Amino acid sequence: MSKLIEKDLKFVWHPYTQMKDCKKAPPILIEKARGIKLYDTNGNFYYDAISSWWCNIHGHNHPKIKKAIKKQLDSLEHVLFAGFTHKPAILLAEKLISIAPGNLTRVFFSDNGSTAVEVALKMSFQYWQNIGVNKKIKFVSLDNGYHGDTIGTMSVSGVDLFNKVFSPLFYSSFKAPSPYCYRCPINKDRMSCNIDCIGPLEKILKEKSTEIAAIILEPLVLCAGGMIIYPEEYLAKAASLAKRFNVHLIIDEVATGFGRTGKMFACEYVENLLPDFLCLSKGITAGYLPLGATLTTDKIYQAFYADYKEKKTFFHGHTFTANPLACATALASLEIFEEENVLERVRKILPFFHKTMEGFKDLPLVGDVRYLGLIAALELVKDKKTKQGFTFEEKVDFEIFRQGLKRNLLLRPLGGIVYFFLPLCIQRKELRDILGRAYSLIGSFSSLANLKRRR
């Protein structure tokens, strides 16, 4: 073990990591990255098949992005954003408004995905207070939804494994079942259903809308909850329910934004979707620097616009709000989208990606295959008929992660759900190589017995 790793294990506490496992599987010391490959200090490479936790867009070490950061660094690294402003933030706000769906007209910056969501939740809440509707103080969200790790965002998340222990701290909110077609909450079949799983959400709104400030949703993909890809019709219906019952629609595109689903924003799959809030982070800087943004409408904005003595100000802000380096990076990334015709290039590669994913259905453990844009997931089950999944204790995710590394793949399954969350710069031959390696990896886990033997 290298000296540095020894120090890591002595001084560092890693996120989403049982540090006890690090004895057997110490973290990998990454030295550099190029395109979609990460290189460790021993000269091994790993395909970054999950975009370094869903944020990398144009690949690592992109010359244009590096240049933009260096140029910005020469003039201004940071300045507070209250009473002061700067060119990268102004131009980025203008640009985001120009590409955003619906009638979003204002950008509130922060510095990560959880804060982008917290801002939307607090703005929605305060909006109703500011206009004198004092009872709208709750939120509705989905089971298996995920909106961040702060206490406020955990309260509207639905991933028990991560959050249950903290539940006594949560404010009360309503949860609706998620549109999880492979494990349909009402035992219907997508081929014949009429999105009936929206029933419980409709019921909550019908009965409680006077208490509800907003619905919060990840559009089309419940990412951390298991890369659950759901029908556009559900999103369309949820959006129209929000309008009908006078509650805000908060669209959390922190993971799905910036082309990952094949469109700039996933909510563009639904025509005329009008979010009241759009939360952005992760891919906003192409994965180079932390930045969050919450976009909202003029209607919301106007409810805060008043004489100071009225106390309608949004008293919220983070030290690194709209960091100039991050904003300059985001602008460079959006220029790359245009200069390199990124979305068109992605669209060309998708049929090959999706067709190859279908091929995984042949494998004995693969119960479900789902995909949208550059996101795809394989849900592993012990028995395809009963759909019995793997238990938490079986640690298939840990095992697949470890075996994947041996095949130059960075995969980090969510329980029994193995997923790809690919950078937009991926080329066909890289994709073919990644999927070939993954196929043989999953194939080698062909029986649970086999899995046990490995351990």
384 token code pair? 């395809």
Burial (CB count <10 Å: 0-12, 13-18, 19+), residue 224: buried
Residue among 323, 275, 364, 311 nearest 112 (CA): 323
Among 48, 118, 143, 252, binds ligand PLP (CB under 6 A): 252
Give the residue nearest to ligand PLP (CB).
113
Residue among 320, 141, 285 nearest 224 (CA): 141
- Alpha-carbon distance of 205 to 237, in angstroms, equals 13
Q: How far is the CB of 320 from ligand PLP (least distance, A)?
A: 13
143 token code pair? 């089971």
Q: Give the nearer residue to ligand PLP in terms of CB position, either 115 or 209.
A: 115
Q: Angle 378-379-384 (CA atoms, 0-180°, nearest 5)?
A: 120
Among 236, 254, 286, 425, binds ligand PLP (CB under 6 A): 254
Q: How far is the CB of 115 from ligand PLP (least distance, A)?
A: 7
Residue among 374, 373, 417 nearest 182 (CA): 417
* C-alpha distances out from residue 296 to 57, 105, 157, 442, Å: 24, 6, 21, 43
174 forms beta bridges with 140
Among 123, 220, 255, 273, binds ligand PLP (CB under 6 A): 255
The answer to whether residue 163 forms part of the interface with ligand PLP (CB under 6 A) is no
CA neighbours within 13 Å on the CB side: how many for 207? 7
Name the one range near ligand PLP by CB under 6 A: 107-115, 161-169, 234-242, 361-369: 107-115
The answer to whether residue 146 forms part of the interface with ligand PLP (CB under 6 A) is yes
Q: Give the nearer residue to ligand PLP in terms of CB position, either 221 or 357.
A: 221
Active-site positions read 16, 146, 252, 282
Single-letter residue type at 240: S
Binding mask 281-320 for ligand PLP (x = CB under 6 A): x---------------------------------------
Name the one range near ligand PLP by CB under 6 A: 133-141, 247-255, 351-359, 365-373: 247-255
Footprint on residues 214-243 left by ligand PLP (CB under 6 A)? 218, 223-224
Using DSSP, state whether 208 is helix, strand or coil.
helix
Name the one range near ligand PLP by CB under 6 A: 249-257, 299-307, 337-345, 372-380: 249-257
Footprint on residues 182-221 left by ligand PLP (CB under 6 A)? 218
- Alpha-carbon distance of 434 to 311, in angstroms, equals 55
Q: How far is the CB of 365 from ligand PLP (least distance, A)?
A: 26
| Residue 351 CB partners (closer than 8 Å, separation 6+) | none
Q: What is the DSSP letter of 120?
A: H
Name the one range near ligand PLP by CB under 6 A: 57-65, 143-151, 204-212, 446-454: 143-151
Per DSSP, which regions of 104-210 are E strands?
104-110, 138-142, 174-176
Residue among 148, 67, 73 nearest 323 (CA): 73
Total site size for ligand PLP, rule CB under 6 A: 14
- Say if residues 76 and 324 touch (Cβ distance below 8 Å): yes
Footprint on residues 405-424 left by ligand PLP (CB under 6 A)? none
Name the one range near ligand PLP by CB under 6 A: 113-121, 125-133, 160-168, 442-450: 113-121
- Alpha-carbon distance of 277 to 257, in angstroms, equals 13
Q: Give the nearer residue to ligand PLP in terms of CB position, either 228 or 336.
A: 228
The answer to whether residue 430 forms part of the interface with ligand PLP (CB under 6 A) is no
Q: How far is the CB of 251 from ligand PLP (least distance, A)?
A: 10
Strands 30-34 and 138-142, by their bridges, are unpaired
Among 101, 148, 179, 259, binds ligand PLP (CB under 6 A): 148
The answer to whether residue 321 forms part of the interface with ligand PLP (CB under 6 A) is no
Q: Which residues bind ligand PLP (CB under 6 A)?
A: 112-114, 117, 146-148, 218, 223-224, 252, 254-255, 281
